Chains A and B, each alone.
Chain A
Amino acid sequence: EPEVTQTPSHQVTQMGQEVILRCVPISNHLYFYWYRQILGQKVEFLVSFYNNEISEKSEIFDDQFSVERPDGSNFTLKIRSTKLEDSAMYFCASSLGAGRNTIYFGEGSWLTVV
């Protein structure tokens, strides 16, 4: 069964450093997303991406965050200058379309900022 894959599974970084989280969405999907989940808290929407541009972003997704689809398969989330409060599990997700199409999640990248 096709799946969303993410790397790395776990990254520890120092505060202020840049981090890039990588994702390979399901191959025929057109919508891509990043969500995050701080330990013990809700899954929160960060950003959605369609047709090579951001279609929506949350208030969490400030200027420190950016997304890119550098080629036909990868979808990346960059955090320019990490803060302690960025420590969370980051989930990439994808869906074939909008509407009733199911959103499939990757296994997550656990980011620890020290």
Chain B
Amino acid sequence: GQNIDQPTEMTATEGAIVQINCTYQTSGFNGLFWYQQHAGEAPTFLSYNVLDGLEEKGRFSSFLSRSKGYSYLLLKELQMKDSASYLCAVRDPKAAGNKLTFGGGTRVLVKP
């Protein structure tokens, strides 16, 4: 099975940086996704890591360490619109169906 942990909630100030951690314990691993989800809306793809290291995409970066079962999403120059939940999801390598298992999400509140 898959167990994915991330903090429930984080608060940060506009313009600041926030790091959202995700740890996973899985029987296998075939990639980790980060999605952003505003309340009542669909998850929107942010980033994908399958190899160790940092992937940078504008204000958002994601890091993966497979040996530690650990990833983080870094949000820089926070804007009010970044207030949302951030979902960590792991792809199951044994799944014929390309299944994602999601963590509970981290709700980020950006304050002025």
Residues of A within 8 A of B (CB): 4, 31, 33, 35, 41-45, 47-50, 54-58, 89, 91, 95, 98-108, 110
The docked-state distance in angstroms from the alpha carbon of A100 to that of B104 is 22
Which of A43, A45, A50, A105 has the most chain B CB atoms inside 10 A of its CB?
Answer: A43
Q: Does A99 contact B42, Cβ atoms closer than 8 Å?
A: no
Q: A100 — which chain B residues lie within 8 A by C-beta?
A: 31, 48, 50
- State whether the Cβ of B99 lies closer than 8 Å to any Cβ in chain A: yes
Pairs of residues from A and B, 8 with the lowest C-beta to C-beta distance, nearest first = A56-B97, A48-B97, A55-B97, A105-B42, A43-B102, A98-B98, A55-B96, A107-B42
**In the complex, how many angstroms separate the beta carbon of A13 from the nearest chain B beta carbon?**
19
- State whether the Cβ of B87 lies closer than 8 Å to any Cβ in chain A: yes
**Chain B 28-64 per-residue mask, 1 if CB under 8 angstroms from chain A, else 0:** 0011010100001111110010100000000000000
**In the complex, how many angstroms separate the beta carbon of A93 from the nearest chain B beta carbon?**
9
Q: Does A95 contact B98, Cβ atoms closer than 8 Å?
A: yes
Q: B103 — which chain A residues lie within 8 A by C-beta?
A: 42
Interface size on B, residues (CB 8 A): 25
Residues of B within 8 A of A (CB): 30-31, 33, 35, 40-45, 48, 50, 87, 89, 95-105
Q: A50 — which chain B residues lie within 8 A by C-beta?
A: 97-98
Q: Does A105 contact B96, Cβ atoms closer than 8 Å?
A: no
Q: A49 — which chain B residues lie within 8 A by C-beta?
A: 97
Q: A108 — which chain B residues lie within 8 A by C-beta?
A: 40-42
The docked-state distance in angstroms from the alpha carbon of A98 to that of B95 is 10
The docked-state distance in angstroms from the alpha carbon of A51 to that of B90 is 23
Q: Does A44 contact B95, Cβ atoms closer than 8 Å?
A: no
Q: B105 — which chain A residues lie within 8 A by C-beta?
A: 42-43
Q: A101 — which chain B residues lie within 8 A by C-beta?
A: 98
